[in-house]
Structure 1
Amino acid sequence: MSAKYRDIADDLRRRIDQGEWLPGTTLPDYAHLVQEYGVGRGVIGSALEILKADGLVSVVKRRGITVRERGNRRRLKRGTLVTRDPGRGYVMPAARPDEPWQVHGRPNRETRPIPARPAELLCVEAGTETLVRRRVTSPTGEPPFQLVDTWIHPQGVADAPRVAERDTGQGGYLDRLEEAGHGPITWTEYMRVRMPTSEEARHVDMPDAMPVLELARVGTSARTNTPIEVTICVIPADRVEVATELRRARSAQWPRDPAAS
Structure 2
Amino acid sequence: MFLTDQLTIMRIISYNVNGIRAAIKKGFIDWLQSDPGDIICLQETKAEKSNIDCSVLNEMGYHDYWFSAQKKGYSGVAVFTKIKPDNVVYGTGHQVSDEEGRVIQLDFGDVRLINAYFPSGTSGEVRQGFKYAWLDEFFDYVNELKKKHQKLIICGDYNIAHKEIDIHDPKGNKNSSGFLPEERAWMDKLLSHGFHDTFRIVHPNEAHRYSWWSQRFPSVRLNNKGWRIDYITVTDALKNKVEDAEIYPDVKHSDHCPVYLKLKV
TM-score category by the smaller chain? under 0.3
Greater RCO between the two (CA within 8 Å, min separation 6)?
2
**Bigger radius of gyration, 1 or 2?**
1
When you count strand as a share of all residues, which structure comes out higher?
1
